[in-house]
Amino acid sequence: MKNRLVVPLLTVIALSLAACGGHQAVKPSSSSSGQSASSGQGAETSGAGQNGGAAGNALGAGQQSEAQLVRTVHFAFNSSHIDSTNRAIVESNAAYMNANPQVTVVLQGNTDERGTREYNLALGERRAQSVKRMMRVLGVATDRMKTVSFGAEKPVALGHNRAAWRLNRRVDFVYSGN
């Protein structure tokens, strides 16, 4: 009974957060190669994937389809700590993976543009590993998750201001096998 209430609550919270986004300049999706127009390719630690599709599976009551998931966890400046708001997003993604054992995920760590390339790659990796650890605690098998750090190489928001930096400090969930 408790799980039946948690998933809809998490969905409402995630959708509320998504609606709070301001008017930001957003970079269009990358090409099919999955790389941005910038010069670096990112430091792959255990695999990379393509951008996941939005086609979800038909699931039972109380479960989310892939299309309903919020697939981005945001972080504070210079941090890999998952706060309570973003914890709900990770929990929702873990519930989806536990309900769909054929699905795998690549956790893509990203940073804002500040800092050296080496520092940002390391911070992006710490962020991806932080999400992976939490997913593992929530019951997702480690062999179904891979991490990759792109550092500042794949921004979603253009600009050199706090609003753009806030959107670029993230881990993206990229699904396959659905």
Task: Note the pTM of the prediction, 2 decimals.
Answer: 0.66
Residue bearing tokens 């929530």: 138
The DSSP letter of residue 157 is: B
pLDDT band at 171 (very low <50, low <70, confident <90, very high): very high
Express each pLDDT in 62-106 by its tens digit.
456 667 789 999 999 999 999 999 999 999 999 999 999 999 999
Residue of 169, 146, 144, 142 whose CA lies nearest to 156: 169
Segments forming the whole domain that contains residue 153: 2-176
Specify whether the backbone of 30 is left (phi greater than 0), alpha (psi in -120 to 50) or beta.
beta
Q: Which helix (H) or strand (E) holds 107?
A: strand 104-110
CATH of the domain at 46: 3.30.1330.60
Give the count of domains, the chain. 1
Predicted local distance difference test score (pLDDT) of residue 68: 76
Average pLDDT over residues 12-40: 39
8 A C-beta contact, residue 121 and residue 151: yes
Pairing of strands 170-176, 104-110: antiparallel
Q: How many CB atoms lie within 10 A of CB 161?
A: 10
Distance CA 24, CA 161 (A): 11
